[in-house]
Amino acid sequence: MVLERVDPELAEFDVHTDELLVNMGPQHPSTHGVLRLVLRTDGEVVKEVIPHIGYLHRCAEKIGENLAARQWIPYTDRMDYLAGMNMNLGWALTVEKLLGLEVPERARHLRVLIAELNRIASHLVAAGTYGLDLGSFTPFVHCFREREKILDLFERVCGARLTYSYITIGGVMADLPRGWLDECEAFLVSFEPVIDDLHALLTSNAILIHRTAGIGVLSPEMAVSYGCTGPVLRASGVNWDLRRDGEPWCTRTYVGYKFEVIAETDGRYPQDAPYPPVPSAVVLGDCWHRFYVRMLEVVQSVKLARQAMDYYRKSPPGVGEPLRLVQKLPKGEAYLETEAPKGQMGFMVVSDGTTVPWRARARSSSFCNLSVVSELCRGCLIADVPAIVGSLDIVLGEIDR
């Protein structure tokens, strides 16, 4: 048999190990929550990934049609349970947009302070579990120790550690307790060195760079086309942050605050001076960038929290009183997206003039971020799947609603 020069595409290797259908989840340690990934693998190479969601579906939107607008707040902070405050803020702003309700100055600054602290907590969970996905346990413990401090602060503010229902329509439930601001200041001061430790442990770690550089590369066009938002979109180089470029109703909360949007412009990130530079092996839009964007956003959030505390001290007293349950909503509909830690969390409220909204719709950021996973994981190795899913930082409560 004469084997003439054959075009490599045609020459098919006959050593095909039979393709294995492997189930990763829904009770798998590395899928964040009840996500089931069916992997079609050929040996170690993943041919195709089919995500199955819906294991945590409670149909919160149907319940929204039978409750007064303010009574749905507790349902919103169970969607992204790692950033409850940002969810409450999203729904509160949407209904205020429908009502055209103004919020007093002190409440606005308080909202920025609490939302940014919750963003730090959510990014800490993302960084910690990402270290866990790649095998190093120690950063996970350091991240959760810092997050505990933030949860203690929240517990003193609203009594809850995870599901707060603190930010409501018309302002916030209650003002800060005495001495809270000094404790918050003390936390921020003690938090800076921990960021450097995390960078030392994870970002500049050669093995982590090898495990994440060039893996799961998401091009800007694909990111926009799949509707990815937040750190996932910014890591692909799209300079878009709703706190600066959003609707007036969303940017109104952040008027007067100076901060940087973390997106790579020609090879450098804004204000990344003290932190490790971008290594050469990484490609724009890969897992490493998504991780690094979150680490820099935490620094911006610390700056924002400090500015919010100063504004709060200077603002007149009075944090506004929550909407009365019997207040009728004007007929019409309003849709608003706010910058949640995981991406843009959109809420739509349609009302027919009664106190109960006709339709309450929640658009989840992780829902769109997760839809990219089958595109990113095609042809990677099995060990890369948790790395990619971890870098997208998804929460199943938010996806399944």
Partner 1 sequence: MDTPAILEKLKQNIGSGIAGSNLEAIDPWVEVAPGALPEVCRFLRDEPELRFNMLHCISGVDYLQTDPKKKSEWEPHLEVVYHLSSLVHRHRLVLKVILPRWKDNVEGQLPEVPTVSDIWRTADWHEREVYDLSGVRFQGHPDLRRILCPEDWVGHPLRKDYQMPLEYHGIRGR
Partner 2 sequence: MQICWHSFFFLLVALVACWFALAVVVSSNIVRMALYLVGCLGAVAGLFFLAGADFLGGLQLMIYVGGTLVLLAFGVMLTSRSQFVSMKTGAAQWVLAVIVGGSLLAVLLQGAFSVARWAPPDALAGDRPPQSAPTAGALGLGLVGVRPDKLDQEQERLREGMAGYLLPFEVISVHLVVVLVGAAYLARARRRIAAATRPDGEPPGSST
Partner 3 sequence: MPEYHQYPSLAEFVSTFLPESWGWLAYVLAALVHVALLLVLALTVAAASNWFERKVSARMQDRLGPTRVGGRFGWLQSVADGIKLLTKEDLIPREADGLLFRLAPYLSFCASFSIYLALPFAGGAGGWVAQRLNIAVFFVLAVAGLEVFGVILAGYGSGSKWSLFGAMREAAQVVSYEVPLALAALIPVMVAGSMDLVRIGNLQKDGFWDWLIFHDPFTFLTFFVYLTCAVASVNRAPFDLPEAESELVAGFMTEYSGFRWSLFFMAEYASMFAVSVLAAILFFGGWNGPLPLAEWLGLTQSHGGLAAYAGNFLGMCNLLAKSYLGVIVMMWLRWTLPRLRIDQVMTVCLKYCIPVAAAMLLGAMVWCYALPGGLVRAVRPHPEAAARWGAPPVDQPPHPPAALAAGKGGR
CB of 22 to partner 2, least distance (A): 16
- Binding window for partner 2 (CB under 8 A); candidates: 8-16, 54-62, 125-133, 186-194: 8-16
Partner that binds at residue 359, options partner 1, partner 2, partner 3, none, CB closer than 5 to 8 Å by kind: partner 1
Q: What region, left, alpha or beta, does residue 395 occupy, with left being phi > 0 and alpha being psi -120 to 50 degrees?
A: beta
Q: Which is nearer to partner 3, 211 or 252 (CB)?
A: 211
Which of 125, 97, 91 is CA-nearest to residue 291?
Answer: 125
Beta strand ranges found along 121-227 (DSSP E): 167-168, 171-172
Structure tokens at 315: 């603002």
- Output DSSP code: residue 34: S
Residues from 324 through 363 that contact partner 1 (CB under 8 A):
331-335, 337, 344, 346, 348, 350, 352, 358-359, 361, 363
Q: Which is nearer to partner 3, 357 or 390 (CB)?
A: 390
Which of 59, 104, 72, 84 is CA-nearest to residue 351?
Answer: 72
When asked if residue 225 is in the footprint of partner 2 (CB under 8 A), the reply is no
Q: Most distant CA pair in the chain: distance in Å?
A: 91
CB of 150 to partner 1, least distance (A): 30
When asked if residue 266 is in the footprint of partner 2 (CB under 8 A), the reply is no
Q: Which is nearer to partner 2, 67 or 382 (CB)?
A: 382
Beta strand ranges found along 29-168 (DSSP E): 36-42, 45-52, 167-168
Residues from 288 through 327 that contact partner 1 (CB under 8 A):
none
When asked if residue 17 is in the footprint of partner 2 (CB under 8 A), the reply is yes
Which of 171, 111, 143 is CA-nearest to residue 339?
Answer: 111
CB of 382 to partner 3, least distance (A): 6
- Partnered with residue 167 across adjacent β-strands are 172
Residues touching partner 2: how many (CB under 8 A)? 12
When asked if residue 11 is in the footprint of partner 2 (CB under 8 A), the reply is yes
Structure tokens at 32: 């964040």
Partner that binds at residue 54, options partner 1, partner 2, partner 3, none, CB closer than 5 to 8 Å by kind: partner 1
When asked if residue 227 is in the footprint of partner 1 (CB under 8 A), the reply is yes
CB of 382 to partner 2, least distance (A): 16
DSSP per position, 196-251: HHHIIIIIT-HHHHHHHTTSS---HHHHHHTT--THHHHHTT----HHHHS-HHHH
Partner that binds at residue 231, options partner 2, partner 1, partner 3, none, CB closer than 5 to 8 Å by kind: none
CB of 261 to partner 2, least distance (A): 50
Segment (H or E) for 339: strand 332-340
The CA distances from residue 400 to 37, 72, 83, in Å, are 15, 17, 16
Positions touching partner 3 (CB under 8 A) are: 20, 22, 24, 28-30, 44, 131-138, 141-142, 145, 201-202, 205, 207-208, 210-211, 381-386
Alpha carbons 61 and 362: distance in angstroms, whole number: 7
Residue 380: strand, helix, or coil:
coil
Q: Which is nearer to partner 3, 99 or 388 (CB)?
A: 388
CB of 19 to partner 2, least distance (A): 13
- Output DSSP code: residue 265: B
Torsion over CA: 114, 118, 119, 121 (sign): positive
Q: Return phi, psi of residue 247, to 5°.
A: -65, 155
Partner that binds at residue 196, options partner 2, partner 3, partner 1, none, CB closer than 5 to 8 Å by kind: none
Instruction: By CB under 8 A, name the one of 42, 48, 61, 197 that touches partner 1.
Output: 61
HSE at residue 322, side-chain half, CA atoms within 13 A, is 18
CB of 362 to partner 1, least distance (A): 9
When asked if residue 371 is in the footprint of partner 1 (CB under 8 A), the reply is yes
Which of 249, 117, 257 is CA-nearest to residue 187?
Answer: 117
CB of 61 to partner 1, least distance (A): 6
Per-residue binding string, partner 2, 18-57, x by CB under 8 A, is: x---------------------------------------
Residue 391: strand, helix, or coil:
helix
When asked if residue 13 is in the footprint of partner 2 (CB under 8 A), the reply is yes
Instruction: By CB under 8 A, name the one of 34, 95, 98, 125 that touches partner 1.
Output: 98
- Which residues make up the interface to partner 2 (CB under 8 A)? 1, 3-4, 6, 10-15, 17-18
